[in-house]
């Protein structure tokens, strides 16, 4: 087991390296650099920046070094000093801007993951056990609908319903009073009171897919001889289900945590823009638009790292509950 985990963790190193290259490549991609944008913004408000000042700015930010040197400066700063560089737009270190938002992103995605499982597992089992029943058809239909509705559209519709029919604003994660307040118990309560709306919206998409997978897995297991044996022994139907087929059907599902995380982060990014949630997505979008490269890079890097770590955890979890995997 330890060997498996060690091998798996070692595999993370090339992936992380690739991710960091990718993130840096992506933020280098736009033509021009931050100084170009900066000069253009100033020019729009009738301030002229002469060539020398622009060159000095480039020098100061190291923008005229070759790609690989800039990459090295960037990644070594992150690894050795936890320094993600300077946000040009905010004129402050990136590390001061990202951690709270990344923390909230993590909170949002993990709560969504938990809710998704809590809804999808029982429904999946029910749909399989009562295959072709009325409930099965209803849930199958809802599941397909959930797959087809883009989460941002769902968020928009929900916000519309809340504003027009309930007279409530469901956007954001905090009430106005707590937006800039330091963390306190009251603020956490406020967060929880707001969190459930985006969590529910995001869970709809994931749940739909998961119900289908769980249903299919259960259907594969339900007609196995060991189920018949257990039933013949006189085990109650409920205990029988939980004790054998569910435990087996859940294995392939654990591996889906890995690929659900990238989807969740993707979905959360766009829902957050619609609902103006203070998580990574909206600030990433803003940074990308303003070519605030180090800020965008930090978010890209951390978001990708988050999904890679999720993959790692789901692999390890799978190996823990399914001994066949370990000895591959």
Partner 1 sequence: MDQPLTTAAAPELKPADQRLAVASQWRLMWWSFRRHRLAMLGGIIVLFLYLVAAVPGFFAMNEPGRQNARAVFHPPQALHWIDTAEDGSWRFRPHVQAMRMVRDPVTLAPSFRPDGTRKIYLTFFARGYEHNLVGLVPSTTHLLGPENPRDQVYLLGADRLGRCVYSRMMVAAQTSLLIGLAGVFLSLVIGLLLGGISGYYGGRIDFFVQRVIEFVLSLPTIPIWLALAAALPQNWPPERIYLTITVILSLVGWAQLARVVRGRFLSLRTEDFVTAARLDGVSEKRIIFRHMLPSFASHIIASVTLAIPAMILAETALSFLGLGLQPPVISWGVLLREAQNIRSIATAPWLFAPGGAVVLAVLALNFLGDGLRDAADPYQK
Contact 231, 212 (CB under 8 A): no
Determine, following the binding rule CB under 8 A, whether residue 273 of this chain makes contact with partner 1.
Answer: yes
- Taking residue 100's Cβ as centre, other Cβ atoms within 10 Å add up to 12
Among 259, 278, 320, 325, binds partner 1 (CB under 8 A): 259
Contact 27, 298 (CB under 8 A): no
- Taking residue 187's Cβ as centre, other Cβ atoms within 10 Å add up to 16
Range 278-307, binding partner 1 (CB under 8 A):
281, 284-285, 288-289, 291, 296, 299-300, 303-304, 307
Shortest separation between residue 44's beta carbon and partner 1, angstroms: 13
Determine, following the binding rule CB under 8 A, whether residue 67 of this chain makes contact with partner 1.
Answer: no
Range 112-141, binding partner 1 (CB under 8 A):
none
Shortest separation between residue 204's beta carbon and partner 1, angstroms: 13
Range 161-220, binding partner 1 (CB under 8 A):
163-164, 169, 171
Determine, following the binding rule CB under 8 A, whether residue 270 of this chain makes contact with partner 1.
Answer: yes
Considering only the stretches 21-29, 94-102, 178-186, 239-247, report the one whose residues sit in contact with partner 1 under the rule CB under 8 A.
21-29
Considering only the stretches 1-9, 145-153, 249-257, 317-325, report the one whose residues sit in contact with partner 1 under the rule CB under 8 A.
145-153
Determine, following the binding rule CB under 8 A, whether residue 274 of this chain makes contact with partner 1.
Answer: yes
Determine, following the binding rule CB under 8 A, whether residue 108 of this chain makes contact with partner 1.
Answer: no
Determine, following the binding rule CB under 8 A, whether residue 262 of this chain makes contact with partner 1.
Answer: yes
Count of residues near partner 1 by CB under 8 A = 52
DSSP states of 298-325 as a string? HHHHHHHHHHHHHHHHHHHHHHHH-HHH
Determine, following the binding rule CB under 8 A, whether residue 156 of this chain makes contact with partner 1.
Answer: yes
Contact 314, 44 (CB under 8 A): no
- Taking residue 10's Cβ as centre, other Cβ atoms within 10 Å add up to 9
| DSSP-derived 3-state class of residue 93 | strand
CA distance 251 to 233: 25
**Which pair of structure tokens corresponds to residue 247?**
């435990």
Shortest separation between residue 90's beta carbon and partner 1, angstroms: 18
- Taking residue 273's Cβ as centre, other Cβ atoms within 10 Å add up to 18
CA distance 155 to 151: 6
Among 43, 76, 150, 189, binds partner 1 (CB under 8 A): 150
Contact 205, 267 (CB under 8 A): yes
- Which CB, 65 or 286, lies closer to partner 1? 286
CA distance 214 to 260: 14
How far from chain centre, in Å, is Cα 112? Answer: 9
Residue ranges that bind partner 1, judged by CB under 8 A? 14-15, 18-19, 22, 26-27, 29-31, 144-145, 147-150, 152-153, 156-157, 159-160, 163-164, 169, 171, 258-259, 261-263, 265-267, 269-270, 273-274, 281, 284-285, 288-289, 291, 296, 299-300, 303-304, 307-308, 311
């Amino acid at each position: 087991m330890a060997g498996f985990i060690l091998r798996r963790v070692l595999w993370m190193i090339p992936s992380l390296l690739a991710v960091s290259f990718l993130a840096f490549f992506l933020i280098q991609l736009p033509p021009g650099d931050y100084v170009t944008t900066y000069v253009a913004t100033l020019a729009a408000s009738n301030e002229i920046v002469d060539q020398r000042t622009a060159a000095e700015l480039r020098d100061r930010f190291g923008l005229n070094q070759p790609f690989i040197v800039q990459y090295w400066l960037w990644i070594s700063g992150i690894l050795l000093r936890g320094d993600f560089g300077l946000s040009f737009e905010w004129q402050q270190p990136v590390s001061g801007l990202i951690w709270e938002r990344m923390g909230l992103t993590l909170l949002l995605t993990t709560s969504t993951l938990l809710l998704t499982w809590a809804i999808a597992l029982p429904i999946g089992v029910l749909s399989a056990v009562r295959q072709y029943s009325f409930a099965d058809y209803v849930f199958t239909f809802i599941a397909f609908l959930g797959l087809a509705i883009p989460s941002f559209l769902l968020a928009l519709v929900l916000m519309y319903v809340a504003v027009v029919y309930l007279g409530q604003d469901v956007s954001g994660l905090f009430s106005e009073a707590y937006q800039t307040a330091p963390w306190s118990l009251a603020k956490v309560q406020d967060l929880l009171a707001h969190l459930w709306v985006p969590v529910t919206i995001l869970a709809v998409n994931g749940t739909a897919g998961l119900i289908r997978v769980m249903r299919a897995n259960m259907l594969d297991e339900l007609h196995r001889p060991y189920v018949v044996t257990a039933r013949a022994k006189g085990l109650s139907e409920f205990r029988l289900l939980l004790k054998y087929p569910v435990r087996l059907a859940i294995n392939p599902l654990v591996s889906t945590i890995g690929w659900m995380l990238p989807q969740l982060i993707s979905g959360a990014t766009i829902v957050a823009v619609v609902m103006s949630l203070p998580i990574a997505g909206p600030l990433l979008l803003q940074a990308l638009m303003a070519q605030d490269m180090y800020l965008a890079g930090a978010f890209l890097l951390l978001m990708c790292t988050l999904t890679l770590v999720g993959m790692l955890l789901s692999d390890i979890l799978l190996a823990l509950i399914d001994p066949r995997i370990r000895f591959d």
